[in-house]
């Protein structure tokens, strides 16, 4: 085999030693993204009847719109993670490693390398994103939802813009950051910045609206959202910055990789013979306190996360064991996942409702929502009338086709076990998710894996720091 | 190559900007009054008591770091004001990180030499054969990320050999090259030298200097204490003439001290070293005859091959005193 590589082909290969492997990786990434988004759509369907239905209805509807919306977000997250992991291969870190110095000495032109790198990166993300997009559509066809082509180009373009934006931002940051660790932080922050921009510039208002997404021009309508204009502006500025900065950096040999080997108690300084001023040079290792902060933060984060996940699991188990007649009380409060719409809008379907445990002396007033037990069954209803030791209760909302007043009843005061004090919609959704197979696996497996591999995780951060 | 300048590096009383500070001591200038002349086609190896001194000297030569005072001229053109700027005539290798990890050795060399006008098929054959000749055939198809930093450095040197740079500075005194890589460097250095280019190695490996270099420069306490040919260095400073091995080495030393009053005797690694004292010439054959005339045959007697290592130790010892 004769090797006829050029710089563009090398860039297309990314982190892999063979072009063929890289091509396969791109195809498999696209398929994985499509499949993962499709699977996530089904997982989200299990918590459809929760607060999510009000907050993000666009990802819970039985339509192509939902699967594709999930896909464009998953593709964005995947690319961010991919950039963080393969930073060394994808961006301009090679200039600081003097790889360009070598190539320039061998006759390569920096400007050609710059454009090759940029175009190879954008081409790769475009390929993976487009492949995944088509695969998601293909998978959704099996669900026999109505295919509305009108919003496909708009969704496609919205997702692609985000990915191009993060790619170009990461490329630009790689020219300014000295260490790999800092560059990774910057990529992560860029992703957050893009999400914030989308929210503040009302881009999500367009994305979540199926009607407005049917018109491609709405994406570019400045009166609706200036996000696309701002995004393109940032991309142009970043490309120009890359052009100037990369060309400038490529003129010099970088001393980053050149370290003096010194005894432990020695340092190299520049000494100004006139002023006597001393400047420390070379071996600028991060101070000990800096490493300690990183180590402590990582450890504390891991401990807090593992503990929180374990506590949450215990909480979910307790709530699940709460059966009629054996309600679990935590510090005098009975948490109760409300799996009914009978008390809407006060308590909505799958909300986590809290009932304060009360004794027979507690004054129950008209209008209170109470938890009571009758014939070994637990009911939640509102007090509409109070007559001596007897309470007349009814539900707030009767389901369609049911007879109003069917649940109206009078119960003795001593049946009352708790009084409604509040609810948490998000916790309700989380418990709902925790009770699905995927949720159970995630919430139990993740802390377990973190607990088992905490040393390796800590080691990874430590290694990156030393590399940086 | 006919019109190329003869003097590729000329340094006159160059002093470094950098000072080294040891805890509780006054700062000392790292390089002091360095004067040096390196000619075209020579292979220089710099060694010294401190890696820092060697590294810094070669960085100044390659225009990577500035110097405080003195004069430094590269290929008779002077030295640019801008430091670290890429110079076509100087190829600097200061670490092995510049190598791409996502390709194998042969592919990497083909990639970096892609701008060469040689036919690609011929070029690949040429590179492949060169790797085999240099003893690097076993890693020619190995992925770069599996190589040691020393192996990577040698591959980078091979790449540099294909460049048009007149001076190649291989500044890796912190690397330790094994018995496979030292001959490979020697082979590459010889090839570079044949093309009329100059190669300057920074190393603490005396064997590398012995095998690969025509000239050597020794640094001690920031100053150059020797700068001339390797051959001269070995002959001048490795004064051991004969090495004798025997069970009764101590008794033998007492007897030989009487027989060879003009020689210095010492025991090193259970071996008796017989050195000439002063600058007087000595004949190993005569020493052998003296020993055998006494009627005593040692277990092993060898003529010292004169190594750079011994010469270096002797030179450093002289200056350390």
Give B248 to chain A, closest Cα distance, Å.
41
- Whether the CB-CB separation of B226 and B234 falls below 8 Å is answered with no
B42: its two tokens:
């020579």
The minimum CA-CA distance between B313 and chain A, rounded to whole Å, is 21
Q: Do B153 and B293 fall within a single domain?
A: no
A99 chain-B contacts, CB cut-off 8 A: 97-100
B152, B211: one domain = yes
- Best mutation target among A16, A102, A265 (most B Cβ atoms within 10 Å) is A102
Q: What share of chain B is helix, strand, coil (3-state, %, to 5)?
A: 35, 30, 35
In whole angstroms, give the CA distance from residue A220 to residue A158.
10
Do B247 and B297 lie in one domain? The reply is yes
Residues B13 and B86 in one domain: yes
Q: Are residues B213 and B175 in the same domain?
A: yes
Q: What average pLDDT score do residues B312-316 get? A: 90
User: What is the separation, in whole angstroms, between the first and last Cα of chain B?
Assistant: 45
For the record, the structure tokens of B144 come out as: 């770069």
Domain assignment present for B11: yes
pLDDT at A255: 81
DSSP 8-state code for residue A336: E
Closest by CA position to A22, among listed A82, A107, A95, A106: A82
Q: How many CB atoms lie within 10 A of CB A146?
A: 7
Average predicted confidence (pLDDT) for chain B = 89
Stretch (H or E) spanning B88: none
CA-based nearest distance A20→chain B, Å: 13
Q: Go through A440-451 and write b for each residue having 16 or more CB atoms within 10 A of its CB, e for each that does not.
A: eeebeeebeebe
Please check whether residues B190 and B208 belong to one and the same domain: yes
A9, A253, A468, best to mutate vs chain B, most B CBs in 10 Å: A253
Provide, as residue numbers in chain A, all residues whose Cβ is less than 8 Å from the Cβ of B59: 258
Question: Across the interface, do B174 and A89 touch by the CB < 8 Å criterion?
Answer: no
Helix, strand, coil in percent for chain A, rounding step 5 = 55, 15, 30
Q: Give yes or no: residues B93 and B25 share one domain.
A: yes
If phi > 0 it is left, if psi is from -120 to 50 it is alpha, else beta; for residue A375 that is left
Pairwise CA distance, residues A39 & A34, whole Å:
9
Query: Minimal Cα distance from A15: which residue of B?
Result: B102
Q: What is the pLDDT of residue B78?
A: 76
State the pLDDT confidence band at B96, using cuts at 50, 70 and 90. Answer: very high
Contact A257 B97 (CB under 8 A): yes
Q: What is the pLDDT of residue A324?
A: 55
Counting one residue from chain A and one from chain B, the pairs whose CB atoms sit within 8 A come to 142
Q: What gap in Å lies between CA B313 and CA B54, rounded to an integer?
A: 17
CB contact under 8 A, B97 and A17: no
Clarify whether residues B244 and B231 are in a common domain: no
CB distance A260–B51 less than 8 Å? yes
B162-220 residue pLDDT tens: 999 999 999 999 999 999 999 999 999 999 999 999 999 999 999 999 999 999 999 99
CATH number of the CATH domain containing B289: 3.30.70
Q: Mean per-residue pLDDT for B222-244?
A: 90
pLDDT in tens, B58-77: 999 999 988 888 999 988 78
Query: Do both B17 and B89 map to the same domain?
Result: yes
**Are A2 and B124 in contact (CB < 8 Å)?**
yes
Residue B60 sits in which domain range? 7-99+147-235
Query: What's the pLDDT at A468?
Result: 44
Task: Classify B98 as helix, strand or coil.
Answer: coil
- Statement: residue B2 has pLDDT above 60: no
Are B144 and B108 in contact by the 8 Å Cβ rule? The answer is yes
* Predicted pLDDT at A413: 87
Same domain? B203 vs B285: no
Task: Indicate if the pLDDT at residue B25 is higher than 60.
Answer: yes
Distance separating alpha carbons of residues B249 and B257, to the nearest angstrom: 12
Whether B132 is in a domain gets the answer: no
pLDDT of A287? 54
**B114 assigned to some structural domain:** no
Q: For residue A246, is the peptide bond before it cis, meaning its omega torsion is within 30 degrees of 0?
A: no
Overall domain count for chain B: 2
Residues of chain A with Cβ-Cβ distance to B153 below 8 Å are none
Output the domain CATH number for residue B75: 3.40.50.300
CA distances from A100 to A85, A105, B49 (A): 21, 8, 33
Nearest to B20 by CA among A403, A261, A123: A261
Name the architecture of domain A322-434: Ribbon (2.10)
The answer to whether residue B12 sits within a structural domain is yes
Tell me how far CA of residue A452 lies from CA of A309, A445, A449, A455, in angstroms.
Answer: 14, 10, 5, 8
**Which of A18, A19, A98 to probe by mutation at the B interface, max B CB count within 10 Å?**
A98
Residue spans of chain A under pLDDT 50? 468
**Pair B167, B49 in one domain:** yes
| ipTM of the complex in this document | 0.87
Say if B28 falls within a structural domain: yes
Between residues B131 and A319, which one has the greater pLDDT? B131
Task: Give the integer Cα–Cα distance in Å for B265 and B262.
Answer: 10
B198 shares its domain with B226: yes
Q: Is A106's CB within 8 Å of B55's CB? A: no
User: Last residue of a domain, which of B235, B254, B269?
Assistant: B235
* Residue B193 included in any domain: yes
Q: For an interface test with A, give the residue of B99, B112, B121 to mutate (most A CBs within 10 A).
A: B112
Q: Which residues of A touch B176 (CB under 8 A)?
A: none
In chain A, what is the straight-line distance between the N-terminal and C-terminal CA atoms, in Å? Answer: 37
* Contact status, residue B255 vs residue B294, Cβ threshold 8 Å: yes
CA distance A144 to chain B (A): 44
Number of H helices, E strands in chain A: 16, 9
């Amino acid at each position: 085999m004769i090797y006829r590589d050029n710089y563009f082909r090398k860039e297309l290969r990314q982190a892999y030693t063979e072009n063929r492997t890289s091509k396969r990786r791109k195809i498999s990434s696209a398929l994985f993204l499509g499949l993962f988004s499709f699977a996530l759509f089904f997982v989200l369907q299990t918590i459809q009847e929760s607060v999510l239905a009000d907050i993000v209805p666009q990802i819970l509807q039985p339509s192509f719109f939902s699967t594709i919306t999930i896909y464009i977000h998953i593709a964005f997250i995947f690319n961010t993670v991919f950039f963080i992991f393969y930073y060394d291969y994808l961006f301009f870190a090679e200039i600081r490693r003097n790889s360009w110095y070598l190539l320039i000495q061998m006759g390569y032109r920096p400007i050609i390398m710059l454009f090759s790198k940029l175009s190879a990166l954008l081409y790769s993300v475009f390929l993976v994103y487009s492949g995944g997009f088509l695969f998601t559509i293909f998978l959704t066809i099996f669900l026999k939802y109505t295919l509305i082509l009108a919003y496909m180009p708009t969704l496609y373009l919205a997702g692609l813009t985000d990915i191009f934006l993060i790619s170009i931002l990461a490329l630009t940051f790689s020219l300014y950051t000295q260490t790999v660790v800092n560059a990774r932080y910057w990529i992560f922050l860029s992703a957050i910045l893009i999400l914030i921009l989308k929210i503040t510039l009302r881009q999500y208002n367009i994305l979540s609206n199926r009607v407005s997404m049917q018109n491609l021009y709405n994406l570019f309508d400045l009166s609706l959202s200036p996000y696309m204009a701002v995004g393109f502006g940032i991309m142009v500025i970043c490309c120009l910055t890359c052009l100037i900065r990369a060309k400038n950096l490529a003129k010099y040999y970088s001393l980053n990789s050149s370290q003096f080997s010194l005894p432990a108690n020695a340092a190299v300084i520049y000494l100004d013979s006139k002023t006597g001023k001393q400047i420390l040079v070379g071996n600028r290792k991060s101070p000990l306190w800096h490493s300690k902060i990183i180590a402590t933060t990582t450890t504390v984060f891991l401990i807090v996360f593992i503990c929180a996940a374990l506590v949450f699991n215990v909480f979910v188990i307790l709530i699940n064991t709460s059966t009629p007649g054996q309600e679990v009380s935590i510090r005098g409060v009975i948490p109760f996942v409300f799996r009914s719409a009978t008390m809407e809008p006060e308590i909505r379907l799958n909300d986590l409702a809290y009932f304060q445990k009360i004794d027979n002396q507690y004054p129950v007033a008209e209008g209170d929502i109470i938890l009571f037990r009758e014939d070994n069954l637990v009911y939640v209803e509102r007090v509409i009338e109070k007559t001596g030791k007897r309470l007349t209760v009814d539900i707030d909302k009767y389901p369609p086709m049911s007879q109003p007043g069917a649940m109206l009843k009078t119960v003795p005061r001593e049946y009352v076990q708790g009084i409604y004090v509040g609810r948490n919609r998000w916790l309700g959704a989380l418990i709902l998710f925790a009770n699905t197979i995927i949720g159970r696996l995630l919430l139990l497996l993740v802390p377990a894996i973190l607990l088992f591999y905490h040393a390796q995780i800590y080691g990874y951060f430590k290694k990156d720091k030393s590399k940086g | 190559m006919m019109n190329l300048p003869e003097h590729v590096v000329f340094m006159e009383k160059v002093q470094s900007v950098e000072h080294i500070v040891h805890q509780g001591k006054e700062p000392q200038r790292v390089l002091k009054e360095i004067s040096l002349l390196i000619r075209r086609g020579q292979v220089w190896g710099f060694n010294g008591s401190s890696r820092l001194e060697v590294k810094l000297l070669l960085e100044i030569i390659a225009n990577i770091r500035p110097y405080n005072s003195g004069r430094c001229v590269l290929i008779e053109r002077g030295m640019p004001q801008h430091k670290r700027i890429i110079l076509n005539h100087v190829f600097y290798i200061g670490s092995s990180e510049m190598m791409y990890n996502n390709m194998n050795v042969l592919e990497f060399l083909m990639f970096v030499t892609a701008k060469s006008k040689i036919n690609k098929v011929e070029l690949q054959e040429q590179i492949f054969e060169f790797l085999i000749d240099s003893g690097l055939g076993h890693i020619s198809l190995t992925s770069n990320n599996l190589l040691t930093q020393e192996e990577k450095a040698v591959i980078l040197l091979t790449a540099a050999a294909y460049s048009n740079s007149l001076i190649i500075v291989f500044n890796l005194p912190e690397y330790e090259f094994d018995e496979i890589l030292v001959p490979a460097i020697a082979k590459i250095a010889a090839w570079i030298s044949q093309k009329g280019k100059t190669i300057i190695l920074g190393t603490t490996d005396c064997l590398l200097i012995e095998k690969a270099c025509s000239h050597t420069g020794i640094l001690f306490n920031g100053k150059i204490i020797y700068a001339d040919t390797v051959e001269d260095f070995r002959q001048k400073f490795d004064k051991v003439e004969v090495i004798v091995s025997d069970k009764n080495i101590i008794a033998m030393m007492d007897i030989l001290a009487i027989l060879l009053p003009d020689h210095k005797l010492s025991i090193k690694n259970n071996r008796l070293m017989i050195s000439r004292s002063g600058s007087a010439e000595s004949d190993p054959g005569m020493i052998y005859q003296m020993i055998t005339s006494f009627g005593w045959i040692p277990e092993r007697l060898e003529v010292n091959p004169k190594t750079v290592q011994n010469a270096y130790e002797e030179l450093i010892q002289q200056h350390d005193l």
